[in-house]
Amino acid sequence: MDTLNAKWYAPVGERASKNAWRWNNEEYSKLVDEIGVLPLGDPKIDELFVKAVEIFMDELPVIPVTQAKKIIPFNTTYWTNWPSADNPYIHPPTWWQSTHVIIHNVQPAQ
């Protein structure tokens, strides 16, 4: 949600580090900022989230065109210590910039 925060807004012609869609909604941003300082599990988050999503859906600055679950298989014939449900040291997809963490943690199979 913070990716669309107005604090990341940059006008066209300037580099946008996060809010590449250049959406600028102060009310949405205030709600996101308020959510950001609350502790996890705070019941107020749900109410603030619903308000923010209502603004998002009303203006629809981004149209999500895909949603998919992925199965990430790892073979332990030659390498072990892949991330898994039993060993969740990092998110397993290798198309994220955190793939190096997996590469540095796998171990040769015995």
Question: Do residues 31 and 73 both lie within one domain?
Answer: no
Write out the E strands in the chain.
79-80, 107-108
pLDDT tens for each residue of the chain, 110 residues long: 999 999 999 999 999 888 888 999 999 999 999 999 999 999 999 999 999 999 999 999 988 777 777 788 899 999 999 999 899 999 888 888 889 999 999 999 98
Bridge partners (DSSP) of residue 79 are 108
Question: Do residues 48 and 93 both lie within one domain?
Answer: no
Bridge partners (DSSP) of residue 108 are 79
Question: Do residues 8 and 55 both lie within one domain?
Answer: yes
Coil vs helix vs strand at 80: strand
Question: Do residues 18 and 49 both lie within one domain?
Answer: yes
